[in-house]
Amino acid sequence: MERDTFLRPHGRVSLTSARQSSPADPRARPQFRHIFVCIFMLKLLTQFIFALLELPLVRLAEDLVCHSLLGVDHDNNGESRCKSESVQDATAQIIGLKTTFDALPCVLTAWLYGQMSDLWGRKTVMFVSNTGQFMTLCSIIFVGFFMRFTPAKLLWLPSAWLLAGGGMRVEMAMQYTALCDVVSWEQRTRLLSFLHASDGIGALLGYVLSSCFMQYSLRWPFGIAFVTFIAKFFILRYTPETAPCYNELSNDIISLDEYTSSDVGTDGTVPQQMQQISSYSLTSNRFSTINWQWGACQTQIRKFRDLVNIRGVNVVFTSFAIKRVAFASLAFVFQYASEILEQDLSKTYLIRVFHQFSVAILFICLLPLLTRNLLSPAKDVWVIRVSLTTLMIGFYVVWNGRSLSGFALGLGICGLGEGLEVGLQSLGSYLVGDVDQAAFFSIASMLGVIGELVGGPLMASAYTIRDNHHRPLGYCFLLSTGVFGCVFASSYLLKTSRV
């Protein structure tokens, strides 16, 4: 086997990475299982809340716009009178701009919280992020249900709370980082795939419950999301910390896995040397103060530049940003299907159920099965290219969809292309090395939301293009197909190993 030079890890690799104990080690297996289950549940509930509120937020925005422009209310008149072109265009603009304002806090704070996670731990950052999201939810409930006669544009204001923790993207970046802290790179594709399976499961539950409860009251999904956030705080309380500990005695990085399994004596006690090391561990780092002097800023800027300039990683980072531009059109699938099929929003959930079902099948069965005989990083590049091809086909089918089965087929194919995220994450984390995981995932999340900043208004504008009968032409989905084609072409800048 011949390897291309730049497909070897370029980042800093700690001395422990070469001898990091495997989860197969009987002493390490219980704790690894505990960590994985906690991270899996946190990510599942994160995606569940997102899916649970996606449709109600569109309905809430449509309701507020309809009341403002036409003076009617969903509860009294149904949705049929709110399907006019003026109401739908205004709703699309509000959803697109809200997506933009939701993304801004991550762009401004992702790198900061990534560095903070190395000082204070992944749990602390996830706690702060969940607190910000929880306050955002409470503000939306207050504006949407207790200030119904206010302008619909006020739905943007709660996004300011996301500055605390950076929002959902920063939280998920910490979840991926926490998993990579305790998993060797050879197993990351498989375990990241299983972790991403929570997206399909959580979203499937979220969309079904959202549609069912919206038949009775729009308040129910928001109430369930409120309770789910409380459950997330409870799980986070019992999630082990995974951030590596810094040993100032030898200038080494001591992994959590090594500390808990490799250095425990036969009598179950911790040797005196490890007790000294623990005094310099993450606990002491949590009470360290961030040095905001100019020299420290220069160090962070240089670290950022070095990571971005790694050959191969720059293509991965660019793909993270561009793919989010393309995926932004999914925010308009419900509205597009509702107008084309002339059905209420609450009845179009089936098309996303097919999408999330195919996502779950991909990550639980297909991806681990199809890549089991491939070697990293060749399998990661293969996953990236196959996923991009699938996404191009899927979005093109959605654009041509004129029936419920057509939309379901298109989104089902799109779900089979969701492996793109796993391929990019696994390849990028391999290239940067073990020590820079938090920095890599922070930059990836930041670039992803920059793509959302561009993609939200862009796709909203493309959606407003209509035919002579005032029906949407769905050009946002056709535009997504072209964007994925550009990413596919750039993937050939990654030269895989010749196996």
- Return per-residue pLDDT of the chain as tens, 499 residues: 334 433 444 444 443 343 344 444 444 567 888 999 999 999 999 999 998 998 888 888 888 887 777 666 655 555 566 767 777 777 877 877 787 788 888 888 888 898 888 888 899 999 999 999 999 999 988 887 876 666 777 777 888 899 999 999 899 999 999 998 888 777 788 888 889 889 888 988 998 898 888 888 888 999 999 999 999 999 999 998 887 765 544 445 544 444 444 433 444 344 444 444 333 444 444 444 444 444 555 666 676 777 777 778 888 988 999 998 999 888 788 788 888 877 776 666 667 778 888 888 999 888 888 877 766 677 888 899 999 999 999 999 999 887 888 888 999 999 999 999 999 988 888 888 766 778 888 888 888 888 888 887 888 888 888 887 778 888 999 999 999 999 999 888 876 543 3
Q: How far apart are CA 34 and CA 189, in angstroms?
A: 19
* Two structure tokens written together for 56: 């109600």
Rounded CA separation 17/38 (Å): 23
Contact assessment for residue 333 and residue 397, using Cβ atoms and an 8 Å cutoff: no
DSSP string computed for 4-33: -GGGS--S---TTGGGPPPTTSTTTHHHHH
Domains, the chain, with CATH or none: 5-493 (1.20.1250.20)
388 Cβ partners below 8 Å, 6+ apart? 417, 420, 484, 485, 487, 488, 491
Reduce the DSSP state of residue 182 to 3 states and report it: coil
Question: Partners of 252 in the beta sheet?
Answer: 247
Inter-axis angle of helices 378-400 and 475-490, nearest 10 = 160
- Is 34 within 8 Å of 240 (Cβ atoms)? yes
> Does residue 326 contact residue 421 with C-beta atoms inside 8 Å?
no
Nearest to 320, CA basis, from 308, 329, 332: 308
Residues counted in the chain:
499
- What does the pLDDT read at residue 263? 39
pLDDT at 236: 94
In this prediction the pTM is 0.74
Q: What is the DSSP letter of 148?
A: T
Measured distance CA(449)–CA(456) in Å, rounded: 10
Nearest to 282 by CA among 444, 119, 62: 119
Report how far residue 452's alpha carbon sits from residue 323's, in angstroms, rounded to the nearest whole number: 9
Query: Between β-strands 252-254 and 245-247, what pairing exists: parallel, antiparallel or unpaired?
Result: antiparallel
Quote the pLDDT of residue 129.
Answer: 95
- Give the pLDDT of residue 345: 65
Residue 302's CB is within 10 A of a number of other CB atoms, namely 10
**CA-to-CA distance for 190 and 355, rounded, in angstroms?**
21
Residue 252 has φ and ψ, to the nearest 5°, of -105, 160
pLDDT of 26 reads 40
Residue 267 tokens read as: 């009598």
Taking a C-beta distance cutoff of 8 angstroms, is the pair 316, 424 a contact? yes
Helix (H) or strand (E) holding 246: strand 245-247
Residue type present at position 449: V
